[in-house]
Amino acid sequence: MKRSLVLCIVFGALSAGPALSGEIREHTTYFMVSGKSFDELNRQLGMKGPDIGGGDRHAGSTEVSFKSDTSYKAVPGGCRIGQARVKLDLRTTLPRWSAPSNSTRETRVLWKTLRDDIATHEAEHAHIAKSWLKRIEDKIRSLPAEANCSLMESRANAEIRAMIKHHDADQLAFDAAESKRIDARLKRKLDENMSRLAAR
């Protein structure tokens, strides 16, 4: 007996299913921003960045998609998980700037500092998703047999839904923590990069 499960949760776009062996595919796309000053670039991020819901534009985004097919195997006295295949698709969107020849060195340093921080932030979202893929795999592997395959399927799906809620909470908690520390971190990195520039 083979079943597919798709769940959608708002974090970029998220769907999920039972997992026994993981396959991860990653893809990065870029949106272009223009301008010769940092203020112009910052406005461009607000105008052209990805919209992940609510109409607000973001400087970057990571779309997470878990997809799987699961089989259930009848055994003496009941039913257990047969095989399950899962794919984790990660689609990251980041900004790219082609610096004009008359942009200042300071603007270039400002942009590099911000761009690198955005990329690091989105990489952490991907890391969180990968860690939950492993947890889902381990959880489904550990499920005991049920009296029949209908119950086995219901149990597996319920466990996955619960784990996806925890995954979603982890992603939101990370964003909440980032909102409190990003200004201080960017200032520290910018001061370091500007000091290197001045020392040249």
pLDDT for residue 19: 35
Most confident of 12-16, 29-33, 39-43, 138-142: 29-33
* pLDDT bucket at 99, cuts 50 / 70 / 90: confident
Examine the pLDDT at 36 and tell me if it is beyond 60.
yes
Crossing angle of helices 105-142 and 149-199, rounded to 10°: 160
Question: E-strand spans in 34-129?
Answer: 61-75, 78-97
Query: What is the pTM (predicted TM-score) of this model?
Result: 0.81
Residue 9 CB-density burial (10 A; 0-12 exposed, 13-18 middle, 19+ buried): middle
The tens digit of pLDDT for each residue in 121-171 reads 999 999 999 999 988 888 888 899 999 999 999 998 898 888 888 999 999
